[in-house]
Amino acid sequence: MMNPNDIRNIAIIAHVDHGKTTLVDAMLKQSRIFRKNQAVAERVMDSNDLERERGITILSKNTSVTYKDVKINIVDTPGHADFGGEVERVMNMVDGVLLLVDSVEGPMPQTKFVLRQALERGHKAIVVVNKIDRANARPNYVVDTTFDLFIDLGATEEQADFPVIYTNALTGEGGLDPERLTDNLEPLFEQILKDLPAPKVDPESPTQLQATLMGYDDYKGKIAIGRLNSGKIRKNQNVLHIATDGTQHPLKVSQVFTHRGLQRVEVDEADTGDIIALTGLGNVGIGDTIADPEDPRPLPPIKVEEPTLRMTFGVNTSPFAGREGEFVTSRKLRERLYIEAEKDVALRVSDTDSPDTFLVAGRGELHLGIMIENMRREGYEFEVSKPEVILKKIDEKWHEPVETVEVEVASEYQGAVVELLGRRKGQMTDMTPLNEDTIRYTYQVPTRGLIGFRQQFLTATRGEGLINTLFAGYQPYSGEIPTRNHGSLIAWEDGVATTYGLHAAQERGELFLSPNTEVYEGMVVGRHIRENDLEVNVCKKKQLTNFRAAGSDDSMRLEPPHDLSLDDALEYLGEDELLEVTPKDFRIRKRLLKKNERRRQQKHGGKVEK
């Protein structure tokens, strides 16, 4: 059995792209986890395809390294606020954190969110200033602003007196002085052993473990992951499952696993204080307690912030329904959504009056978008509505979610960005010149105003602007916000788009598809340059005659279509539009496909039922 004093449970927290997954890579390599001849992928902890494609961490994952006979369990956490539910859970099973900050940018908005969670739980932090080799590195400024951040977040004197390590994670170098780095990360390992505490656990007390993360294996079934707070857990041991609602069920542990490097290794008995994985626990959910049947002691349930956005998921009702998906029924869709809600505590799923439609609430557009993309890749076919904010009634008045928005723009684009944010009810709270050409603005903006904003922001800054957002709380409802200044180009009839038809339509706006694409009546084929919708006949063919002007067909040049990503399509959606999602494609469509039905709706001035 391992002494709890020889265990450290730590989380690495940082803003997106500050290098925490790369640092974990370096720590693993220097701990000789891999064989000398083993091929190791970059960002080995980003095991999910979407994580590798987007270059972000979405799911919390844990690994372990051994240094001087001390086992260090490391949890790699998401840096994006939309996945804050993952972070809030992880903080329950660690005893300290590594706060990673970029040597140029310093602490960013999403660093604040995760750090607040750690400080509120009393965790100590080691500040790691990464990318120290960057040309414009300013380590002293970064350490000073990090200290200010600790004070702003209400850190205790002990927490604010943090040690600082300087690293270059790509090359695996670290040191106490930014000018003198060693060729390894030993200074970081030494600091972890010195400054971050061992888990406060009691091996003699009854068994107590809280399921903090959930995994799934095709052969082993559901896997519950958490820290063993007290007592022991052995293979085939009888335990008591205490759900968050207080109900209790006797269970038997099938297998016990611990982490060594990236592998789960089966053991007969787990060490108190270690982060372990258990199988055979049936319907155990996140936040549930595994306890001793003779002396059951439930742990407090995990609390996470409420969702701020919601959208409807429904069975695909377009003319192309059932062509491309493997799972197309409401039963399969409902089953999948509720499984996701079990794994993700920040997600809420509920049934609606319609058996084919479900209401799904999450932390933000990215949170919901990642789930949609995962389901699409698994073979599901469905349709979703435009995201809308969740309002709260406080003191008999409606309040709406508000976000802190930080934008960095070149001075030549600042006028356009200030106008965009002002139109969306943004209130400027700070303006900081970063250099001669770049300014950082801080705004408080209603979440409603940010739906569909990113695309307009990138257009206004020619793709050069940087934007970061963080949920700031609820404020009184600020009235109507005009977020969409364009209409849609809508297919007039079913058929196949032709070059001739698209050439005529492109004069009216920006197209989303190319020739020979199959379309149906009511499908959105482009963005109109004006505010109203316009039906266009993209299937129109050129009339054949006996006369042919030389070279007339060659002169029909089409502009390249705007190939929408899933995120772009979700931002584009209007109130009366749906996004049809299939494993092969996604299409924007009107809720009412027939033009006479849409005109009747407009004539009566009513809103389409959601």
Which residue ranges are tagged as binding site? 17-22, 130-133
**Is residue 45 helix, strand or coil?**
coil
Which of 166, 155, 146 has its CA nearest to residue 106?
Answer: 146
What is the biggest distance separating any 2 CA atoms in the chain, rounded to whole angstroms?
A: 97
CB distance 45 to 233 below 8 Å = no
Phi and psi (nearest 5°) for 467? -135, 135
Distances from the Cα of 98 to the Cα of 247, 248, 304, 580, angstroms: 37, 37, 22, 42
Q: Which two tokens stand for residue 559?
A: 């502009």
Strands (E), 133-199: 164-168, 173-177, 180-182
Which of 507, 516, 509 has its CA nearest to residue 485?
Answer: 509
Sheet holding 488-491, edge to edge: 509-511, 524-528, 488-491, 534-536
Distances from the Cα of 596 to the Cα of 318, 487, 501, 601, angstroms: 17, 18, 22, 9
Q: Among all chains, which residue has been given the structure tokens 């850190």?
A: 155
Q: Which residues pair with 327 in a beta bridge?
A: 380
Q: Which residues are annotated as a binding site for GTP?
A: 17-22, 130-133
CB distance 497 to 517 below 8 Å = yes
Which of 222, 339, 345, 349 has its CA nearest to residue 287?
Answer: 345
The C-alpha atoms of residue 385 and residue 588 are separated, in whole angstroms, by 10
The C-alpha atoms of residue 386 and residue 429 are separated, in whole angstroms, by 29
- Percentage helix, strand, coil, to 5, in the chain? 25, 35, 40
Q: Kindly state the DSSP code that residue 234 receives in the 8-state scheme.
A: B
Where do the H-state alpha helices sit in 424-510? 447-450, 453-460, 499-505
The C-alpha atoms of residue 262 and residue 61 are separated, in whole angstroms, by 10
Where do the H-state alpha helices sit in 352-451? 365-377, 414-423, 447-450
The C-alpha atoms of residue 444 and residue 492 are separated, in whole angstroms, by 42
User: What is the rounded end-to-end Cα distance, in angstroms, of the chain?
Assistant: 58
